[in-house]
Amino acid sequence: MKLLTANFITCSVKSCQSVTPALSFRDAELAREEIDFSPLFLRNILPRIDWPLLQRTAKELGFPALPETKPELSPIAEGDEEGVGSEEEQKLLKELHSLLLETSVQSGKLVCANCGHEYPISQGIANFLLPNHLV
Amino acid sequence: MSRPEDILPPNLFYDDISARKYTSSSRILSIQSDMAHRALELLHLDQPSFILDIGCGSGLSGEILTSEGHMWVGMDISESMLAIAVDREVEGDLLYADMGQGVPFRPGSFDAAVSISAIQWLCNAETADVTVDNRLKTFFETLYASLKRGGRAALQFYPKDDKQRDLICKAAIKAGFAAGILEDEPGTKQVKVYLVLEVGGTGGDITQAVKDLEGVEVQDGRSKREKKKGETRREWIGRKKERERRKGKVVKKDSKYTGRKRRIQF
Ligand SMILES: C[S@@+](CC[C@H](N)C(=O)[O-])C[C@H]1O[C@@H](n2cnc3c(N)ncnc32)[C@H](O)[C@@H]1O
Ligand SMILES: [Zn+2]
């Protein structure tokens, strides 16, 4: 599971529906995979990223601390069709790209902070099948 | 030919052998790819987007999303299909999950959703303690929540019959979607049915969602109640169009959909 997905996924146990609690990784083994850099995708998704959650996830997985607050990007300049922005922004976008899209948890589990349910992850795929009484 | 849905539950139907067969058939590859392109067209995305692929299987539909510059998360209930997606090194992220248990993402996560040849499986309730109605309700309500405002879903599916198609449409509308059905090559054996949904958009008018597609028949699942007993779909549409025309509304021409062939991207 990519860190991007982890920033949006929630526990699907019935009793957690109203709280949409965050899930945390346990026993995570990481992998890195190269993905085409798309500044426009990052610009699109950044406003939706739950920044405190991303900070927490990064910390859990042993990454260096992220900036205190979500970075603000300036509007794309005319002629900058790919949305790469200033040199500084490009560096930032590349870092986000690498963290959100190229980093994934290959095995381990996701644990719900509210109900304690554990979602096992193997071969990079999280198992979200639930026994019927929890749906 | 019997429908796979009537033979086995999906996780057993798509076992290692049929998952491999499915993914290596060039015929299937080209049909799935065409439909994924068509679904993308219906989503009207204007930037690289975050898309949910429901029943992603071995990633045939997802690869089209990747080739068009989007990022996707796929969910599927067949471990064999997912294993092939892993082998094929798809760029999207994969989730082993049952859509009938809901879409497990926080509100407003996705720009859009697609599903190619999968949601009819919702009507096969695998266990005695879960009803089809409940599965449909859970699926559409959580899908609705997971999409951003104005977000769309284009879901191509193979309804068993008109009754099943209505059941699915109604469940989507009940969950709050503005909904429409679009048919490519209607009335033929190759007919392809797309359920096009929009979050909080246009107050339930489906023609809105598909209005700029010329030569396509647009129908409204919600109005099906008006259909007369014993009337075919085509007769009913004709009657309805005639009535609209009399009322002076703009109605689509009865042009038969002229097959739209595109180059296959493999
Ligand atoms: C015909 S395949 C289509 C796969 C892919 N979308 C494509 O275009 O090639 C249908 C897929 O739906 C999946 N499916 C069936 N029921 C499902 C469910 N309840 N939840 C998630 N996926 C399901 C099957 O496992 C199968 O991979
Ligand atoms: Zn929970």
Q: Give CA–CA dist A21/A31, Å, rounded.
A: 25
Measured by CA distance, the residue closest to atom 27 of ligand 1 is: B57
Question: Does the residue A109 lie in any domain?
Answer: yes
Contact A40 B50 (CB under 8 A): no
* Tokens 């346990």 -> residue: A26
Question: Does the residue B23 lie in any domain?
Answer: yes
Regarding the beta carbon of B59 and ligand 1, being less than 6 Å apart is answered: no
Indicate the pLDDT class of residue A19, thresholds 50, 70 and 90.
confident
Contact B49 A12 (CB under 8 A): no
Percent of chain B whose predicted confidence (pLDDT) is above 90: 67
Regarding the beta carbon of B42 and ligand 1, being less than 6 Å apart is answered: no
> In a mutagenesis test of the B interface, which of A82, A122, A128 is the best target, namely the one with the most B β-carbons within 10 Å?
A128
Domain of B31, in residue numbers: 4-214
Question: Does the residue A32 lie in any domain?
Answer: yes
Measured by CA distance, the residue closest to atom 9 of ligand 1 is: B60
Domain of A35, in residue numbers: 3-72+82-134
Q: What is the mean pLDDT of residues B40-65?
A: 97
B222 vs B28 pLDDT, higher one: B28
CATH number of the CATH domain containing B193: 3.40.50.150
Q: How many domains does chain A have?
A: 1
* Amino acid identity at A60: E
Q: For residue range A77-98, list pLDDT tens digits in order.
A: 999 989 999 999 999 999 999 9
Q: For residue range A27-64, list pLDDT tens digits in order.
A: 999 999 999 999 999 999 999 999 999 999 999 999 99
Q: Does residue B190 have a pLDDT over 60?
A: yes
Question: Does the residue A26 lie in any domain?
Answer: yes
Q: How many domains does chain B have?
A: 1
Contact B106 A20 (CB under 8 A): yes
Instruction: Give me A28's structure tokens.
Output: 């995570």
Out of B71, B96, B127, name the one closest to residue A126 (CB). B96
Indicate the pLDDT class of residue B233, thresholds 50, 70 and 90.
low
Pairing of strands B50-54, B71-76: parallel
pLDDT for B265 equals 31
Q: Give CA–CA dist A2/A7, Å, rounded.
A: 9
Query: Which residue(s) pair with A29 in the sheet?
Result: A107
Question: Does the residue A86 lie in any domain?
Answer: yes
Closest-CA distance, B98 to chain A, in angstroms, reads: 6
Indicate the pLDDT class of residue B7, thresholds 50, 70 and 90.
confident
Contact A128 B97 (CB under 8 A): yes
Helix/strand/coil (H, E, C) string of chain A? CEHHHHCCECCCCHHHCCCCCCEEEEEEEEEECCCCCCHHHHHHHHHHCCHHHHHHHHHHCCCCCCCCCCCCCCCCCCCCCCCCCCHHHHHHHHHHHHHHCCEEEEEEEEEECCCCCEEEEECCEEECCCCHHHC
Out of A41, A129, A130, name the one closest to residue B48 (CB). A41
In this prediction, the answer to ipTM > 0.95 reads yes
Q: Residues in chain A whose beta carbon is closer than 8 A to a beta carbon of chain B?
A: 1-2, 4-5, 8-12, 20, 35-36, 38, 40-41, 44-45, 48, 50, 101, 104, 123-130, 132, 135
Of the listed ranges A9-23, A83-97, A107-121, B206-220, the least confidently predicted one is B206-220
Regarding the beta carbon of B84 and ligand 1, being less than 6 Å apart is answered: no
Q: What is the mean pLDDT of residues B93-112?
A: 97
pLDDT for B239 equals 57
Question: Does the residue A53 lie in any domain?
Answer: yes
Percent of chain A whose predicted confidence (pLDDT) is above 70: 100
Q: Does residue B40 have a pLDDT over 50?
A: yes
Which DSSP symbol is given to B227?
Answer: P
Indicate the pLDDT class of residue A18, thresholds 50, 70 and 90.
confident
Question: Does the residue A18 lie in any domain?
Answer: yes
Contact A41 B70 (CB under 8 A): yes
CATH number of the CATH domain containing A108: 2.20.25.10
pLDDT for B156 equals 98
